[in-house]
Amino acid sequence: MAGKLVIGNWKMNGRREASAALVNAMLADSRINRAGVGIAAPAVYLPLLESSLSGSEVTLAAQDVSRFGKDGAFTGDISAAMLADVGCRYVLVGHSERRQYHGEDEAVLRDKLLNVLAAGLVPVLCVGETLAERENGVYKDVIRRQLSVLEGLAPHQVVVAYEPVWAIGTGKVASLEQISAMHADIKAWCLQIQKSDASICTLYGGSVKADNAEAILSIDSVDGALVGGASLNVESFAMICKAADKLV
C-alpha cells in the first residue's frame, strides 16, 4: 500500500448535495484520490459515496455497525452485511462518541468486531482515555481494557485508532511524545492480547490538521490517521493525505 492510511470521519455532517460535491472535489484532487485513503460517511449517504468512489482507489468506511449479526427485528440497526453490500471496506467500532452517547461497552464492541469480520470487512477499533483518566494516571489501564476485545483476533484483520478523548474536536493535539509512547504501548499490548508476533496497524486521531499531520505521521509507530473536522475541507484533507503519502 502506498503511504500511510488516512481515514476521514465525516461524523453527522452534510446533506446529499453537499456530500456529493465534497466527495467529487476530493476525487478531483490527486493528493486524496489514491490507495490508502478512506472516507467514513453517514450511513444514509454510503450508497451515494459508493457510486462516486467507483473506479477510484479511495475506500468507503462506515462510522458504526449493529451489534446484531443476523437480519431480523432490530429496528434502526444497520448490519455489517449491509455495509458490505453498499461497498464499505472499513467500519469504525467504538468511537468515543459512540461510547459516550450510546453507552457502548466492551461486550457490545466485541459483538460488533466479530460481525464486521464475519462480513469480510476491516474493523477500526477506536480507543482513548478521557482527560481525567490521563491526569489521574489510570489511562494505560483504560486503553488496555478497551483493547481486550481484540483477544483471539489476528492482527492483520484489525486496525486500532488511538484517539485521546480530550484531543477530539478540541484543537488540543497530544504531544508527539505522548502519541509515540502510547502507540508503542498499544502495539506491545496487542501482541500479548492477540498472542501473535505480528504488529497491529495503529492510527492516531484527535485534532489531526494540515499543519500537524506531517509531524504526527512521521512517528514510526503511527501507521496513519483518523481525521474528523479536517476531513470536511478538501484542502486540509488533501494536505494530510499528502503528508501520509510520503511516508510508509
The residue annotated as part of the active site, out of 95, 104, 129, 183, is 95
Q: 165 with 128: CB under 8 angstroms?
A: yes
What does the DSSP assignment read for 171-229? S-PPPHHHHHHHHHHHHHHHHHHTT-SSPPEEEEESS--TTTHHHHHTSTT--EEEESG
C-alpha cell at 122: 476491516
Residues 14, 42, 206, 224: which binds ligand PGA (CB under 6 A)?
206
Crossing angle for the helix pair 139-147 and 176-193, to the nearest 10 degrees: 40
Comparing CA positions, the residue from 193, 201, 116, 93 lying closest to residue 147 is 193
Please say which residue, 52 or 207, places its beta carbon nearer to ligand PGA: 207
CA distance 215 to 176: 8
Provide the minimum distance between the beta carbon of 152 and ligand PGA in the complex, in angstroms, as a whole number: 26
Classify 234 as helix, strand or coil: helix
Residues numbered 101-120 forming contacts with ligand PGA, rule: CB under 6 A: none
For position 172 contacting ligand PGA by CB under 6 A, the verdict is no
Please say which residue, 81 or 113, places its beta carbon nearer to ligand PGA: 113
For position 207 contacting ligand PGA by CB under 6 A, the verdict is yes
Please say which residue, 9 or 194, places its beta carbon nearer to ligand PGA: 9
Residues 3, 42, 205, 224: which binds ligand PGA (CB under 6 A)?
205
CA distance 93 to 108: 10
**Number of residues that this document lists for the chain:** 248
Residues numbered 2-21 forming contacts with ligand PGA, rule: CB under 6 A: 9
Provide the minimum distance between the beta carbon of 51 and ligand PGA in the complex, in angstroms, as a whole number: 25
Q: Which residue is nearest to ligand PGA (CB)?
A: 228
Residues 133, 163, 223, 245: which binds ligand PGA (CB under 6 A)?
163
- Please indicate whether residue 102 is annotated as part of the active site: no
- Please indicate whether residue 97 is annotated as part of the active site: no
> Which H/E stretch holds residue 244?
helix 234-245
Provide the minimum distance between the beta carbon of 158 and ligand PGA in the complex, in angstroms, as a whole number: 17
Q: Which residues are catalytic?
A: 95, 163
Q: Which residues bind ligand PGA (CB under 6 A)?
A: 9, 163, 168-169, 205-208, 226-230
